[in-house]
Amino acid sequence: MEDKRSPGMKEQRLRRQRINRMKKMIVAVMSFGFLSAIALCIGLTVQVVRLNQRIDALTEERILVQESGQPENPVSVLAGGDTIQSKALDEGSVSEKQKDSAAGEDPEAENAPQEDAKSPAAKQEPSRMDNPSEEDTAKKVYLTFDDGPSQVNTAAILDILKEKNVKATFFVIGNDNDYAPDLYRRIVEEGHTLGMHSYTHKYSSIYDSLEAFQEDFYRLRGYLGEVTGVEPDIMRFPGGSSNSVSNIDMRECIRFLNEEGITYYDWNVISGDATSQVYTADELIDNVMKDVAKNQTSIVLMHDAETKATTVEALGPMIDQLQEMGCELLPIDENTKVIQHISADQID
Ligand SMILES: [Zn+2]
């Protein structure tokens, strides 16, 4: 009996062992599968985050190129813009002075097609153009710095401007670092013009909806008012008024700014300090001098950011050369001729 039972029990034991082994294997396989799935999820999440960052970086790069270059196709943004604009001129929506000088042809029109959108604020601010013959007067150059304040460069830029006794315009973003409030205040106290450039400078959020744009706008205006006591009445759109990254029709933003009494400025001269091509300080100066030579009024786009050391390096000699050329260097004010890639006048 025992002999008979023994092999049976042995077999049972063996079977149990087999079953146990199988169970262990199943558990191991399942654990492995489970862990693999988790690892895969983590991997994919990391990948998604990386790709998102890449998209942001590419968007940023693209917009910087745009911001530092000409609008890709300013007219296409608002079909028939030119027609509307000349109509506006015909209909006398500009001041008498402006009519006089615009009566025949705009002296700059041929040389600076990018300056085609002029005047918008003419309606609100009748004195926007120079007296009577622009060509008799010195060239006007408005140096503008976007994206500041920056910890490294704003103070250096301000020092150079002070040393040269030149006033400029800063289109700032919302910077809540400890060092920033003093810099905003220095800009104002030293007689420069403080303009807005959006709080976050994040295209994906600012241009996500009109509400988002408005929220960002109020946030920056409120912040600057709090810090400096001044609420700016000028703005530069991140990417310019003709940027092509906005999800919303830029005309909606323009309409909103018109309602708020804000004049926005694009540019007609670029230093090239934010292009993908890296220029030396001398090249930045050359870029500016070349374009300034073509315009009676130049709004020069430069950047005040941590990485823009060459802009700082170029600034002093650039000012010297502009002054030697006989240019008047001015901060943007209500008398500044408006340079806009999409004219505010074209918006109802
Ligand atoms: Zn910018």
145 and 64 together in one domain = no
Distance (Å) of CA 87 to CA 108, 119, 283, 311, 345:
19, 13, 40, 40, 11
The pLDDT, as a whole number, for residue 53 is 65
56 and 83 both lie in a single domain: no
> How much is the pLDDT for 86?
26
CA of 56 to the centre of ligand 1 (A): 14
User: pLDDT exceeding 70 applies to what percent of the chain?
Assistant: 74
CA of 282 to the centre of ligand 1 (A): 22
- Work out the mean pLDDT of the chain and round it to a whole number: 80
Omega of the bond prior to 331 within 30 degrees of 0, cis?
Answer: no
Domain boundary among 68, 86, 107: 68
Q: What is the mean pLDDT of residues 9-25?
A: 89
Domain end (from 36, 68, 100):
68
**Per-residue pLDDT at 184:** 98
Per-residue pLDDT, averaged over 204-232, amounts to 97
The Å distance, Cα 189 to ligand 1 centre, comes to 23
CA of 71 to the centre of ligand 1 (A): 14
Whether 49 shows a pLDDT value over 90: the answer reads no
Based on the fold, state whether residues 219 and 93 are members of the same structural domain. Answer: yes
| Structural domains of the chain, count | 2
**What spacing in Å lies between the alpha carbon of 213 and ligand 1's midpoint?**
15
Cα of 195 vs centre of ligand 1, distance in Å, is: 12
The residues pairing with 173 across neighbouring beta strands, listed in sequence order, are none
In this predicted structure, the answer to whether residue 198 has a pLDDT above a threshold of 70 is yes
Give me ligand 1 centre to Cα 289, in Å: 22
pLDDT tens digits, 302-343: 999 998 999 999 999 999 999 999 999 999 999 999 999 999
Give the distance (Å) from ligand 1 centre to CA of residue 65.
Answer: 10
**pLDDT surpassing 60 at residue 108:** no
**Mean pLDDT lowest among 130-144, 175-189, 199-213:** 130-144
Q: At a CB cut-off of 8 Å and minimum separation 6, what does 77 contact?
A: 71, 241, 242, 244, 250, 341, 342
Say what the pLDDT of residue 269 is: 98
* 263 Cα: distance to centroid of ligand 1 (angstroms): 17
Is there a single domain that holds both residue 165 and residue 209?
A: yes
Per-residue pLDDT, 298: 98
Q: 18 and 167: one domain? A: no
Q: Are both 90 and 36 inside the same structural domain? A: no
Angle at which helices 180-189 and 154-164 cross, to 10°: 20
User: Is the pLDDT at 84 greater than 70, yes or no?
Assistant: no
Q: Is 144 in a helix, a strand, or coil?
A: strand
Percent of the chain with pLDDT over 90: 60
Q: Same domain for 214 and 303?
A: yes
50 with 31, same domain: the answer is: yes
CA 305 / ligand 1 centre spacing (Å): 9
pLDDT of residue 95 exceeding 50, the answer is: no
Q: How far away, in angstroms, is 38 Cα from ligand 1 center?
A: 40
CA of 82 to the centre of ligand 1 (A): 26
pLDDT at position 275 is: 87
203 C-alpha vs ligand 1 centroid, how far in Å?
Answer: 10
Give 201 Cα–ligand 1 centroid separation in angstroms: 7
Q: Which helix (H) or strand (E) holds 196?
A: strand 193-196
Whether 159 shows a pLDDT value over 60: the answer reads yes
Residues in contact with 50: Cβ distance below 8 Å, sequence separation at least 6, in sequence order:
none
**Whether the Cβ atoms of residue 310 and residue 156 lie closer than 8 Å to each other:** no
How far is the C-alpha of 175 from the C-alpha of 197, rounded, in Å?
11
Helices (H), the chain: 2-68, 74-77, 81-90, 96-103, 154-164, 180-189, 203-206, 210-228, 250-260, 281-292, 309-324
Write down the pLDDT at residue 5. Answer: 60
**Ligand 1: centre distance to CA 197 (Å):** 7
Q: How far is the CA of 112 from the centre of ligand 1 (A)?
A: 22
Same domain, 13 and 93: no
Residues 6+ apart with CB under 8 A from 54: none
pLDDT tens-digit readout, 224-280: 999 999 999 999 999 999 999 999 999 999 999 999 999 999 999 999 998 888 999
pTM above 0.75, yes or no: no
Question: What CA–CA distance (Å, rounded) separates 57 from 43?
Answer: 21
Residues 238 and 318 in one domain: yes
Centroid of ligand 1 to alpha carbon of 63 (angstroms): 8
Looking up residue 198, the CATH number of its domain turns out to be: 3.20.20.370
**Residue list, CB under 5 A from ion ligand 1:** 146-147, 238
**51 and 173 together in one domain:** no
Find the 240 Cα to ligand 1 centroid distance in Å.
8
Q: Which domain holds residue 10?
A: 1-68
Domain ends where: 68, 84, 109?
A: 68
How far away, in angstroms, is 13 Cα from ligand 1 center?
77
- In this prediction, residue 11 has a pLDDT band, given cuts at 50, 70 and 90, of confident
* Å from CA of 41 to ligand 1 middle: 36
144 neighbors 168 (Cβ within 8 angstroms): yes
Q: What is the pLDDT of residue 290?
A: 97
**Distance from the CA of 303 to the center of ligand 1, in angstroms?**
7
Comparing 97-106, 115-124, 222-231, 252-261, the range with the smallest average pLDDT is 97-106
Q: Count of CB atoms within 10 A of residue 193's CB?
A: 23
Q: Please, which pLDDT band fits residue 59 given cuts at 50, 70 and 90?
A: low
Residue 259 C-alpha to ligand 1 middle, in angstroms? 23
| 46 alpha carbon – ligand 1 mean position (Å) | 29
Residues 59 and 112 occupy one common structural domain: no
Distance 18 CA to ligand 1 centre (A): 70
